Amino acid sequence: MMKALTTCAGLALLLCVAPGQRLSAASTCGNADFQGVYGFYASGVVLVAPGFPPSLIGPFGRVGRLVADGKGNIAVANIASYNGNIIPEAYTATYTVNSDCTVDARPITGLPLGPGGALVNVPFEFVGALGNNGNSVALVNCGLGAGVPCSPTPQPTGNVIRVILTRQTSSVIPCVTQNLSGAYQIDMSGSVIAGSMPQPFARDGLLTFDGKGGFTGNDTVSQSGLAVTTEALTGTYSIDAFCNISMSYSLGGNHTWSGMLTNQSSGANLIVTDTGSVITGTLLSVGTGNSGGASSGGGGTGGGTGGGTAVTTAVASPKNVVVTSTQVQLNGTASISADGKPLTYAWTVAPGSGSASISGANTATPLAQLSGGFNTYTFILTVTDDTGKTATDTASVILQ
């Protein structure tokens, strides 16, 4: 099996990032080569779906986060648009990576098909392959419904849906709003649901983020092939600790976009969350001077020394460690004080982490008690030096 180097950090569902070794025709792949957290987007169309209400049949888009544990299990959280109906989703899947690096993934998704919109579990099957040293996965839906697998005889699914996954590296966690700063290419496409006929839509241009929650931009929109307009955008944005993006602006009405940073490509995946839209797209950093989500969290986080001058730095461990015990020793003793004097320590459980308690949270080496269950548990260490300067770092473990 191809070896994988494992680095992890916390995320709402699970975050274990395992950059794969170089893939080649001679590589032998396995489940461990599909491991970590991936930002993804899906696009396509639902044409025929027995049991679906008519309002959900039509253009389709989905943007979110997928986490693979390297052992054949997946957890997913995303926002989807079914024919312009915006639906948050959370579900699980199993997967198999074959020796030739092809992938078979089988999610079971809860869809609002029951009485009063009650969720009904629907099995799907997607096939594709790993790419880009294991940092990318491309999949297409080839099976839908119980007993309708892709092989040995593929059956019509009633839809055409493709999914592109991009691994998120650990350097971005925890995210803050300032991680998105500078100029970014924006590229979006999809459909606007208007009357009985969806109108094709495309948007391309440039957005500039100020790192403080504001953005401006100019782009060109083509809709239905008949109307081409330019937009001057001014809006606000925020990014939470787990790299989820929320954007809003007013231009002929109020508009919202959601997504997440995918710093593997120095940008983000986005979905328009306006009802009546099925539009997904990407942000891509224009130059290397932009963070693109690649920098670590703010709040004075140090990076060691610079120009020979000591910087107060938080160093939390363990990182990326798989554990089987629900008790974990945390360690911040490698942290550095700029003035050489003692530091004070404060450990907290990161928002969205697996539930845990910390005994001795104001010491350098506290004991964490994990609640149990397949999850990533993330802890934030904040150190304060004698002058009041602070720095933060995170520790994370995966309980299996």
Among candidate residues 116, 147, 168, the one where a domain is terminated: 168
Confidence of residue 363 (pLDDT cuts 50, 70, 90): very high
Q: What number is the average pLDDT over the span 24-49? A: 83
Residues 54, 193: one domain?
no
Q: Judge whether 91 lies within some domain.
A: yes
Pairing of strands 321-323, 390-399: parallel
Task: State the greatest distance between any 2 C-alpha atoms of the chain, in Å, as a whole number.
Answer: 70
| 185 and 47 together in one domain | no
Residue 92 corresponds to which tokens in the numbers above? Answer: 């699980």
The last residue of one of the domains, among 168, 190, 208, is 168
| CA-closest candidate to residue 246, choices 257, 235, 254 | 257
13 with 150, same domain: the answer is yes
**The last residue of a domain, from among 252, 285, 318:** 285
Residue 198, domain extent: 172-285
- Contacts of residue 248, defined as CB under 8 A and 6 or more positions apart, other chains included, come to 235, 236, 237, 254, 255, 256, 257
Q: Assign 173 a pLDDT band (cuts: 50, 70, 90).
A: low
228 and 181 in one domain? yes
Same domain, 345 and 367: yes
What pLDDT sits at residue 165? 93
Percentage of the chain with pLDDT > 90?
41
pTM for this prediction: 0.66
| Whole-number pLDDT of residue 236 | 96
- State how many domains the chain has: 3
Q: In this structure, are 22 and 164 located in the same domain?
A: yes
Residues 77 and 107 in one domain: yes
CATH of the domain at 392: 2.60.40.10
Average pLDDT over residues 244-255: 93
- The yes-or-no verdict on residue 53 having pLDDT over 90 is no
Q: Are 251 and 375 part of one and the same domain?
A: no
Tokens representing 232 are 């001057």
Per-residue pLDDT tens for 368-395? Answer: 999 887 677 888 999 999 888 888 888 8
Stretch 69-78: mean pLDDT, rounded?
89
Whether 2 maps to a domain, the answer reads: no
Residue 295 domain-assigned (yes or no): no
